[in-house]
Amino acid sequence: MSFLGASLEMSTDVIDDFWDILQDYVWEIPILPLTSMDFQLFKQFGWPCGLI
């Protein structure tokens, strides 16, 4: 959750609340290719969290 909070500039409490509301939707939406912005944010915030 710290990856999402950092990349979206939101507290982890807010991210936890959003996840409670949106988790079913997130798992059911079609998978789309990453945009260049997605990749940049993942590299900036995800790689330091060990998400590769």
Q: What is the pLDDT of residue 26?
A: 86
pLDDT at 50 over 90: no
Per-residue DSSP letters for the chain? Answer: -HHHHHHHT--HHHHHHHHHHHHHHHHHSPP-PPPHHHHHHIIIIIGGGT--
- For 9, phi then psi, to 5°, come to 55, 50
Q: What is the pLDDT of residue 7?
A: 81
Identify which has the larger pLDDT, 2 or 41. 41
The rounded distance, in Å, linking the Cα atoms of 30 and 28 is 7
Identify which has the larger pLDDT, 44 or 2. 44
* Span 4-35, pLDDT tens digits: 888 889 998 998 998 899 999 989 999 889 89
Q: What is the pLDDT of residue 24?
A: 92
